[in-house]
Amino acid sequence: MKNVLVVTYSQSGQLNSIIDNVLKALTGKVNIHREYLKPKPEFSFPWKDIRFWDAMPECVEMVPSKLETLDFDISIDYDLIILGYPIWFLSPPIPLTTFLKSPQAKKAMNGKPVVTIIGSRNMWVGAQEDVKGMVMENGAQLVGNISLHDRHHNLPSVVTIIYWMTTGKKDRLWGIFPKPGISDKDIEEADRFGPPILNSLQNNSFEGLQDNLLKLKSVEIVPSVLSIERKGKKIFKIWSKFIRKKGEPGNPARKARLKMFKWYLLFVIFIVSPIVTFFFYLTYPLFFSKINKQLVYYKGVKPKN
Ligand SMILES: Cc1cc2nc3c(=O)[nH]c(=O)nc-3n(C[C@H](O)[C@H](O)[C@H](O)COP(=O)(O)O)c2cc1C
């Protein structure tokens, strides 16, 4: 039987539900080894206000932290590695970065095909570029990507994700906002991605896997959201360096700069981004071909030349 290593990190369990559904088609047909990453200490969920913002600089700078001992058998020659992760501050979450930068990951991943499965609000492409880089550094090859996101409009989804992340409640805020996160329907229907993955495993060829996944709508990108995210990622890098000058996570000296970042981000999301989106669509025809090229690139799994 083939061996598949599935490494995931999920706080609420949303990402794990997606993974469970994708794995349905593989269950009983291959050996599935699951590694649930456990940060040491755990990031509390629901999040406490300042701790939430305090995670930003190390996510963006991809500074590894600590994990509980990894359980998976490093001596197995895995046929496929599946990495499942949410997005934190347009970046990979710290536990995944920590895993990908560990010697165990390097050993297990070297020369192996990798499929990534992402469960985010709606801004994930920059984080996936970071993950692509770490996957390559470990000598592995990205062969497939599935990215599910909250389909609601960008602004209400910011309100609902903050509500969910800071209260732990995945219900409709005041009965008027949509339910936070990825829809139950999208989570359930993630089982459609399992058969092409199983097929590639059984045929010993991952050539064309991403095209097969894309036919099943494994990745959908809203152009205006992509445009905002690309700008945001550059600005986050400036903020993360600025905050890290005041010390490591938990250092009270960072607090003032974290608060500045928080208010800056909320201002940009609710005031600036609607204006930017308006101009984005106004000038869309002028940049049509450039934007189309970006969409094709981010839907694929090839690294940047
Ligand atoms: C600290 C933090 C930052 C986040 N930043 C983003 C982000 O930049 N882009 C995004 O699409 N989602 C973001 N999210 C939402 C996550 O991608 C994800 O949807 C949510 O955390 C639920 O994932 P779970 O499976 O870990 O429960 C963030 C969540 C947290 C906790």
- Asked, for residue 94, whether it belongs to a domain, the answer is yes
Residue 253 Cα to ligand 1 midpoint, Å, equals: 25
What number is the average pLDDT over the span 28-57? 96
What number is the average pLDDT over the span 48-69? 96
HSE-up of 63 (CA within 13 Å, CB side)? 14
- Asked, for residue 263, whether it belongs to a domain, the answer is no
* Domain span at 27: 3-224+295-299
Q: What is the pLDDT of residue 32?
A: 98
Mean pLDDT of the chain: 97
Look up residue 176 and give its DSSP letter: T
- Asked, for residue 277, whether it belongs to a domain, the answer is no
- CATH code, domain with 188: 3.40.50.360
- Asked, for residue 259, whether it belongs to a domain, the answer is no
Does the beta carbon of 124 sit less than 6 angstroms from any atom of ligand 1?
A: yes
Q: What is the pLDDT of residue 49?
A: 83
pLDDT tens column, 15-39: 999 999 999 999 999 999 999 999 9
- The angle subtended at Cα 108 by Cα 106 and Cα 109, nearest 5°, is 65
AA identity, residue 189:
E
- Asked, for residue 265, whether it belongs to a domain, the answer is no
> In what helix (H) or strand (E) does residue 3 lie, and over which residues does it extend?
strand 3-8
- Asked, for residue 250, whether it belongs to a domain, the answer is no
Residue 267 Cα to ligand 1 midpoint, Å, equals: 19
Closest residue CA from atom 26 of ligand 1: 10
pLDDT tens column, 63-115: 999 999 999 999 999 999 999 999 999 999 999 999 999 999 999 999 999 99
What number is the average pLDDT over the span 273-295? 95
- Per-residue confidence at 279, pLDDT binned at 50, 70, 90? very high
Please state the domain count of the chain.
1
For the chain, percent of residues with pLDDT exceeding 70? 100
- Per-residue confidence at 304, pLDDT binned at 50, 70, 90? confident
Instruction: Give residue for tokens 């996510």.
Output: 59
Name the packing angle between helices 255-267 and 223-244 (round to 10°).
Answer: 160
Q: What is the pLDDT of residue 303?
A: 86
Ligand 1 atom nearest to 119, measured from its CA: 19
Does the beta carbon of 161 sit less than 6 angstroms from any atom of ligand 1?
A: yes
Q: Over 90: is that where the pLDDT of 189 sits? A: yes
What number is the average pLDDT over the span 279-296? 95
Residue 280 Cα to ligand 1 midpoint, Å, equals: 25
What number is the average pLDDT over the span 37-49? 95
Residue 152 Cα to ligand 1 midpoint, Å, equals: 15
Residue 1 Cα to ligand 1 midpoint, Å, equals: 35
What's the length of the chain?
305
Q: Over 80: is that where the pLDDT of 46 sits? A: yes
- Asked, for residue 173, whether it belongs to a domain, the answer is yes
Q: What is the pLDDT of residue 305?
A: 73
Does the beta carbon of 89 sit less than 6 angstroms from any atom of ligand 1?
A: yes
What number is the average pLDDT over the span 233-260? 98
Closest residue CA from atom 23 of ligand 1: 86
Does the beta carbon of 114 sit less than 6 angstroms from any atom of ligand 1?
A: no
Report how far residue 120's alpha carbon sits from residue 117's, in angstroms, rounded to the nearest whole number.
Answer: 10
Task: State the CB neighbour count (10 A cutoff) for residue 48.
Answer: 10
What number is the average pLDDT over the span 286-291? 95
- Asked, for residue 117, whether it belongs to a domain, the answer is yes
